[in-house]
């Protein structure tokens, strides 16, 4: 208190002599107020009220600051109860980062090697390429360098084919290239990572994931599988657009056959914990060497530069690591993954050099909420540019949605 009065007296004395207050210390740096959280709140509110999804959750993590968590909407259209930061969503292909990280931890613990042949760990696996038993390493599996065509058997999986039948049919698939010779995104074959983990330690993917990651990180809302989702009492239902509005449907079991590729469920609160671990804040659980291995790109993926507008205008290069994409985002390294299944969307983006992360989860097929991630990243990096959300249009949609009678 005494110091405050001394400072106030000095400023008053300076003013009495006509000395500008700023001249008291001309070298002082004026630090602008941190308004990212308040701005993100406005943007998320507009998206939520626009009707783009019944439920929307967002997380921002920064070093030395508490998690900023947002939850808007309701778990299903007409529920009459709000979602919160513990409401669980499907993560879809964001699950791949969990699988890659688990395999990295198992290597660090000496149970397997990323350079090891997958066939050594999963003896029954066969491919048409005669060199596959030696060439298909776990590292190549986790970075989609299997030699198979893009999305092999995804359509059959979505038509409710059994996973065991698809695995047995792999030797009949004509390769797109030699193993390790090209990048081609996979779901069915990627899931063999869960079998490799079992072959290494003798326990199921979800058991090892819980033991080595979820429990130590305190991710108590995170689970694996359809039953784990629907047996909970706080989960967001998937929605499809029908007859002019969102309609809740039952979660499809198809991609839940692939726990390592698309089977993880989590709340936004848990995703924030996951991002902090991936950013190096939990070395007791994720050692720096494991993070470096998991987040290092293994293959170029130039097709990612032709995606949504923010990718076309912001990304300079793209690659795939172990269950994570790695982008050059306007000169900054971004570790990223998105996921999409019927009625759910998920996005996670990390700026490791800044210790910054943002995630968005929602329960519809709308692409509108996806604009939140690049807008928040641009704001963090102080990049001027397009309004990826088209806020004026969304504000009009929000006003119309509020005037529309509730179902």
Percent of the chain with pLDDT strictly greater than 70: 91
pLDDT of residue 185: 98
For residue 178, report the phi and psi dihedrals to the nearest 5 degrees: -70, 155
Domain 36-94+203-300+341-376+386-403 grouped into CATH 3.40.710.10 = yes
Residue 239: pLDDT over 70: yes
Residue 318 pLDDT class (50, 70, 90 cuts): very high
Residue 7: pLDDT over 50: no
CA distances, 275 to each of 52, 286, 347, 358, 359 (Å): 25, 11, 12, 8, 8
CA distances, 242 to each of 128, 239, 246, 249, 365 (Å): 42, 9, 6, 11, 12
Percent of the chain with pLDDT strictly greater than 90: 87
Residue 208: pLDDT over 70: yes
pLDDT of residue 122: 96
Residue 402 pLDDT class (50, 70, 90 cuts): confident
pLDDT of residue 34: 84
- Region 359-370: mean pLDDT is 98
Q: Are 134 and 179 within 8 A, CB to CB?
A: no
Residue 24 pLDDT class (50, 70, 90 cuts): very low
Residue 285: pLDDT over 50: yes
User: Which of 3-17, 32-46, 217-231, 258-272 has the weakest average pLDDT?
Assistant: 3-17
Q: For the segment 369-396, what is each residue's pLDDT rounded down to a tens digit?
A: 999 999 999 999 999 989 999 999 898 9
Go through the chain and tell me how many residues it has: 407
pLDDT of residue 160: 96
Residue 358: pLDDT over 80: yes
What does the block give as tokens for 16? Answer: 């009495």
* Per-chain mean pLDDT for the chain: 92
pLDDT of residue 405: 54
Indicate the domain borders of the chain.
Answer: 36-94+203-300+341-376+386-403, 103-194
Residue 291: pLDDT over 70: yes
How many other CB atoms are found less than 10 A from the CB of residue 312?
11
Residue 150, strand partner residues: none
pLDDT of residue 397: 84
Q: For the segment 29-58, what is each residue's pLDDT rounded down to a tens digit?
A: 554 668 999 999 999 999 999 999 999 999
- Region 74-101: mean pLDDT is 97
- Region 166-191: mean pLDDT is 98
């Amino acid at each position: 208190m005494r110091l405050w009065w001394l400072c106030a007296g000095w400023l008053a004395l300076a003013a009495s002599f006509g000395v500008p207050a700023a001249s008291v210390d001309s070298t002082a740096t004026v630090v602008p107020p941190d308004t990212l959280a308040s701005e993100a709140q406005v943007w998320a509110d507009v998206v939520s009220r626009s009707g783009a999804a019944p439920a929307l959750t967002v997380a921002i993590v920064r070093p030395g600051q508490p998690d900023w968590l947002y939850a808007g909407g309701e778990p299903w259209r007409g529920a009459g109860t709000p979602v919160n930061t513990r409401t669980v969503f499907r993560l879809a292909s964001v699950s791949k980062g969990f699988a890659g990280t688990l395999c990295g931890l198992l290597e660090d613990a000496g149970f397997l090697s990323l350079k090891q042949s997958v066939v050594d760990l999963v003896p029954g696996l066969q491919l048409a390429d005669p060199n596959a038993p030696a060439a298909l390493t776990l590292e190549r599996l986790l970075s989609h360098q299997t030699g198979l065509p893009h999305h092999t058997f995804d359509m059959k999986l979505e038509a409710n084919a059994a996973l065991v039948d698809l695995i047995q049919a792999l030797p009949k698939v004509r390769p797109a290239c030699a193993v390790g010779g090209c990048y081609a995104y996979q779901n069915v074959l990627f899931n063999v990572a869960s079998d490799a983990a079992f072959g290494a330690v003798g326990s199921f993917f979800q058991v090892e994931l819980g033991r080595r990651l979820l429990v130590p990180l305190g991710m108590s809302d995170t689970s694996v599988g359809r039953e784990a989702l629907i047996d909970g009492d706080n989960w967001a239902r998937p929605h499809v657009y029908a007859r002019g509005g969102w309609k809740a449907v039952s979660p499809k079991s198809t991609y839940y056959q692939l726990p390592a590729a698309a089977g993880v469920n989590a709340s936004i609160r848990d995703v924030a914990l996951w991002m902090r671990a991936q950013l190096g804040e939990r070395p007791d659980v994720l050692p720096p060497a494991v993070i470096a291995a998991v987040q290092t790109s293994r293959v170029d993926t130039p097709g990612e530069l032709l995606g949504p507008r923010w990718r076309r205008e912001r990304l300079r290069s793209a690659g795939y690591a172990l269950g994570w994409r790695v982008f050059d985002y306007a000169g900054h390294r971004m570790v990223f993954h998105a996921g999409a299944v019927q009625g759910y969307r998920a996005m996670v983006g990390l700026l490791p050099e800044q210790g910054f992360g943002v995630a968005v989860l929602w329960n519809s097929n709308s692409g509108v909420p996806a604009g939140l991630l690049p807008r928040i990243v641009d704001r963090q990096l102080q990049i001027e540019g397009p309004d990826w959300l088209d806020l004026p249009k969304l504000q009009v949609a929000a006003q119309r949605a509020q005037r529309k009678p509730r179902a």
